[in-house]
Structure 1
Amino acid sequence: MLLNISTTHNPATDLSFLLHKHPDKLQSVELATGKAHIFYSEATTDNCSVNLLLDINPIELVKNNRNNSSDFALAHYVNDRPYVASSFMSVAISKAFSTALNGKCSKRPELLDQVMDFEVKISVLPAPKGGELLIRRLFEPLGYEVILQRHQLDANFPEWGDSKYYTLNLKGACKLKELLSHLYVLIPVLDTNKHYWVNQSEVEKLLAKGEGWLGNHPEKEQITKRYLRGIGGLTRNALDRLIENDLEEQPIEVEEESEVVKKKESLHHQRLKLALQELKNSGAKRVVDLGCGEGKLLKSLLKEKQFEEILGVDVSYKTLEKAMEKLHYNEMSPKQKERIKLIQGSLTYRDKRLDGYDAAAIIEVIEHLDLNRLRSFERVVFEFSKPKVVVLTTPNREYNELFESMATDSFRHTDHRFEWTRKEFSNWAGQVANSHGYDVEIKPVGEEDEKVGAPSQMAIFKLSEL
């Protein structure tokens, strides 16, 4: 089984420093059932390509087999384990690339936060339960472009149909530590026959390697359950301990007639109306709604003939399904369907599907991100995707004191990770604009109070050359 990781980052050989593996040397590490070999197929300034090759010993595999539950008498001897990426590959990654996986680089520590363009190839990956759809649901929300090639059972007998095996190619921009942690966790998720004993220590490994991304993954429950072989107690423990909550959390329950609810309902319509007007004023024809939720802004955009292409993006697959229902997507005319597309994606990982749009709407989204992920969000939107116009809104924390039912220092929504004052928002928007070549204008959203301002605030970013 072979894992290949390549980068065209300049200089591409920075990858060798992060991996602590010299390009001129063939290196090997011992595994319980064989060896893992690390070698470079190319190491130049323009491209660096490292390979992790597993050489599994079939005899040791039988000796160390912990799963004797197969109904197939020769299962110990006739199986695909030496040839496919499985839990063995995850263990090999942790041993061969331990320093990079743990975010350490003694010689070049500044490289640890470097986002690089990566291409990953895994030959061959089994997906016996879930197939292509599962693989895409695991990797696409993390910002990867997923290219899959499914293999026939036997090319000489096409009538036998396709196998459960795929060659997986991933393309994306991220830190190397993030890439390795994604592979370390998600490869065993696809393996229904793990070679190691699953106990509490596996919970600790999952939480450690999933820190910063697993909690926000739309498939976090399935990932956790499959990684821990469906063991209920371990799965519940892991889910309870995940620090980050995904965006599907329900808002805090308050009395239906409370002042907060009334203000939010009124403010919501004002916010969407103002955002729509700014998008229209921009002259944009191709618009992307980042964090589209259940599609309320998308519905308004569809009513305007000015917008010829509309893209809705959300991290939650279930929310996108609700958006399709509320947009009555299946009942749309073919011409109308051509105008709109909904995709699953994260705003903290580069996604080339977001490139080239005239305008982007980001309505009440950033406050759901951890502050330490905000820098990644800025780069994804303003450095890589770089729409000509960005319309962004977020709550004004100062206004919260006017909501009588809110406790002091609490947030308007249980999933908010922060809320900014007007000055904090203005400073952040100005810094982003200066760093990425935009001009920015700040506007209030909703009725203004003389002391604390408006309940929400909007920034309109425009590329400086416009």
Structure 2
Amino acid sequence: MLLTLTTTHRPGTDLGHLLVKHPDRVQSFELPAGTAHVLYPEADEQRCTAALLVEIDPLRLGGGRGRRQAAAPDSFTLGQYVNDRPYAASSLLSSALAKVFRSALRGESRGRPELAATPIPLEVRVPVLRCRGGAELAVRVFAPLGWTVTATPIPLDETYPEWGDSRYVELTLAGTLRVADALNHLYVLLPVLDDAKHYWVAPDEVDKLLRAGAGWLADHPERSLITRRYLAHRRALAGEALARLAELRLADEPPADDSVDPAGPTEETDKKRASLAVRRRDAVLAALRASGAGRVLDLGCGGGALLTALVADRRFTEIVGTDVSSQALTLAARRLRLDRLPERQRDRIRLWQSALTYRDDRLRGYDAAVLMEVVEHVDPPRLPALEDAVFGHARPGTVVVTTPNAEYNVRYEGLGAGRFRHADHRFEWSRAEFAAWVDRVSTTHGYTATISGVGDEDPEVGAPTQLAVLTCGETDDRKEETSA
């Protein structure tokens, strides 16, 4: 069985760094049922193709002790050895991906760490894929992930077209994605389309599915089908996986104040929510980079949306996420895949339960802190306690704060007067009110501040999100005190 991955990113040979496989060598890897080979049919500045060729030994596949014979769809004994498994992509190819490209699946690259976090043009080709559900199902599972999908049914016999199509397709995917995302999509979805596993599906397969599906499976329109098929239709395991995915969806949704539509979400409002959430996160990251911070606190981190972006940037050498909710921290750990990260990466990250209205000595001495869509969830009488705990006691060198702009609410259809964007908001500030709060905090605690907007600027009511960057006026003294 064969899979090729091609890029036109320049220089094309960077693909070798991303896959951690040198383009000038053929490398082979032993598998439980055969051998996998990695080679590069082409590798130059303009274009590079990596090929994964898996040779299956039918004797080893059929004779493995304790192995579930899902690999042999035929019930008779000879069917364990005479079948399509050595030739059609299936869970065997998925397992080979996991073994051969282990670092690439995790998004790691020592040679090109910044490129590993960057989407690049990719084309994936699987010449023969057993697809239970036909070409249409291949489109349904890959297209929502950003792929342009070409799934061509393979005829039973080209000489006799009247015999119709076989159960196999030739699959081509094209898109601009991270290599890690592309490999994780294939790892999960190849056995899903085949709808069979060559090994016994144990409870630990739920964790494997959620790790590989992090960041995309929870919101996939076919997540139920994908989950059931990946877990070999084992009802208890599929139920557990779907329940955990539902938790992740709640934690990972863009905050409800990004778009308000009491009548229910629409395609247009969903796009606006996602767009503003991404732009706000990008604005916060830009502010942190401009500050030169290396050690960063994400205060009120929730399900870990910002933490994921911080981890992807190696300039942030120590990252701490705090939240008062232990469940939120559990979801953040799952999203970050902490149990799967190498030790050096894992050592950069801390998750602590902490309430922002109480002083916490663990939070002192950091370069920067983020309060992203947090302050509006605090009861106004408790704000002075938050200000003292963050700006007075913890006293990071830079604090980045974002909060909704109440004036912009009139631009949300269906949001009546006096209503907040989220049921848990205790207040929402106008631009003048936010500026007054920032000025008071800066004056009281010795910070200087700048205020800007995030999102499309409306000439009358401003931008939907307000952002302030507060910089400590005594950074050098604070650093000396901390080091002492």
2:425 corresponding residue in structure 1: 409
1:179 corresponding residue in structure 2: 182
SS in 2 for 1:215: coil
Amino acid at match of 1:15: L
Amino acid at match of 2:38: I
Q: Is contact 1:102–1:177 with CA below 8 Å preserved after alignment?
A: yes
Cα separation, 1, equivalents of 2:451 and 2:4:
42
SS in 1 for 2:51: strand
Cα separation, 1, equivalents of 2:26 and 2:427:
54
- Identical counterparts, % of pairs: 40
2:99 corresponding residue in structure 1: 95
Q: Is contact 1:103–1:177 with CA below 8 Å preserved after alignment?
A: yes
Cα separation, 1, equivalents of 2:244 and 2:127:
34
1:320 corresponding residue in structure 2: none
TM-score (norm 2): 0.57
* Alpha carbons of structure 1 residues 160 and 199: separation in structure 2 relative to 1, 3 Å: same
1:132 counterpart (119, 130, 135): 135
* Alpha carbons of structure 1 residues 59 and 265: separation in structure 2 relative to 1, 3 Å: closer
What is the Cα deviation at residue 367 of structure 1?
5.4
1:188 corresponding residue in structure 2: 191
Cα separation, 2, equivalents of 1:367 and 1:223:
29
What is the Cα deviation at residue 133 of structure 1?
1.4
* Alpha carbons of structure 1 residues 159 and 396: separation in structure 2 relative to 1, 3 Å: same
When the two chains are superposed, the root-mean-square deviation of aligned CA atoms in Å is 3.9
* Alpha carbons of structure 1 residues 214 and 246: separation in structure 2 relative to 1, 3 Å: farther
Deviations 1:109-168 (A, max 9, x none): 22221211001100211112x111110011000111111221111122322211011110
SS in 2 for 1:238: helix
Amino acid at match of 1:99: S
What is the Cα deviation at residue 193 of structure 1?
2.5
Cα separation, 1, equivalents of 2:213 and 2:282:
14
1:428 counterpart (437, 451, 454): 454
Deviations 1:217-269 (A, max 9, x none): 1111111111001111111111111253289x9x99xxxxxxx9xx9569x9x
SS in 1 for 2:104: helix
1:145 counterpart (143, 148, 167): 148
2:83 corresponding residue in structure 1: 79
SS in 2 for 1:3: strand
The higher-RCO structure (CA 8 Å, 6+ apart) is: 1
* Alpha carbons of structure 1 residues 264 and 12: separation in structure 2 relative to 1, 3 Å: closer
1:107 counterpart (104, 111, 118): 111
SS in 2 for 1:214: coil
2:14 corresponding residue in structure 1: 14
* Alpha carbons of structure 1 residues 40 and 443: separation in structure 2 relative to 1, 3 Å: same
1:2 corresponding residue in structure 2: 2
1:366 corresponding residue in structure 2: 275
Amino acid at match of 1:62: G
* Alpha carbons of structure 1 residues 156 and 100: separation in structure 2 relative to 1, 3 Å: same
* Alpha carbons of structure 1 residues 367 and 411: separation in structure 2 relative to 1, 3 Å: farther
2:476 corresponding residue in structure 1: none
Structure 1 gaps, min length 5: 253-259, 269-290, 298-313, 315-361, 376-394, 413-420, 430-439, 445-452, 460-466
What is the Cα deviation at residue 443 of structure 1?
4.3
1:442 aligns with 2:458: yes
1:245 corresponding residue in structure 2: 249
Q: Is contact 1:34–1:55 with CA below 8 Å preserved after alignment?
A: yes
SS in 1 for 2:124: strand
2:173 counterpart (162, 166, 170): 170
Cα separation, 2, equivalents of 1:204 and 1:138:
20
Amino acid at match of 1:204: D
2:207 corresponding residue in structure 1: 204
Cα separation, 1, equivalents of 2:117 and 2:162:
50
Amino acid at match of 2:101: F
* Alpha carbons of structure 1 residues 195 and 372: separation in structure 2 relative to 1, 3 Å: farther
Deviations 1:144-203 (A, max 9, x none): 111122111112232221101111000000111111111111111112221111111111
2:362 corresponding residue in structure 1: none
2:68 corresponding residue in structure 1: 66
Amino acid at match of 2:178: K
* Alpha carbons of structure 1 residues 107 and 154: separation in structure 2 relative to 1, 3 Å: same
Cα separation, 2, equivalents of 1:169 and 1:410:
50
Q: Is contact 2:107–2:117 with CA below 8 Å preserved after alignment?
A: no
TM-score (norm 1): 0.59
Q: Is contact 1:116–1:175 with CA below 8 Å preserved after alignment?
A: yes
Cα separation, 2, equivalents of 1:411 and 1:91:
51
Q: Which has the larger radius of gyration?
A: 2
What is the Cα deviation at residue 371 of structure 1?
6.8
Cα separation, 1, equivalents of 2:233 and 2:22:
40
Cα separation, 2, equivalents of 1:39 and 1:133:
31
* Alpha carbons of structure 1 residues 369 and 74: separation in structure 2 relative to 1, 3 Å: farther
Q: Is contact 1:443–1:458 with CA below 8 Å preserved after alignment?
A: no
* Alpha carbons of structure 1 residues 100 and 367: separation in structure 2 relative to 1, 3 Å: same
SS in 2 for 1:212: coil
Q: Is contact 2:453–2:465 with CA below 8 Å preserved after alignment?
A: no
Q: Is contact 2:128–2:168 with CA below 8 Å preserved after alignment?
A: yes
* Greater CA drift, 104-113 or 93-102: 104-113
1:50 corresponding residue in structure 2: 50
Structure 2 gaps, min length 5: 286-402, 410-416, 436-449, 467-484
2:37 corresponding residue in structure 1: 37
Task: Report the number of matched residues.
Answer: 315
Cα separation, 2, equivalents of 1:265 and 1:61:
56
What is the Cα deviation at residue 104 of structure 1?
1.4
Cα separation, 2, equivalents of 1:373 and 1:122:
35
Cα separation, 1, equivalents of 2:421 and 2:150:
50
* Alpha carbons of structure 1 residues 264 and 148: separation in structure 2 relative to 1, 3 Å: closer
What is the Cα deviation at residue 370 of structure 1?
10
Q: Is contact 2:11–2:45 with CA below 8 Å preserved after alignment?
A: yes
Question: How does 1:228-307 map onto structure 2 within 5 Å?
Answer: 228-242=231-245, 243-245=247-249, 293=267
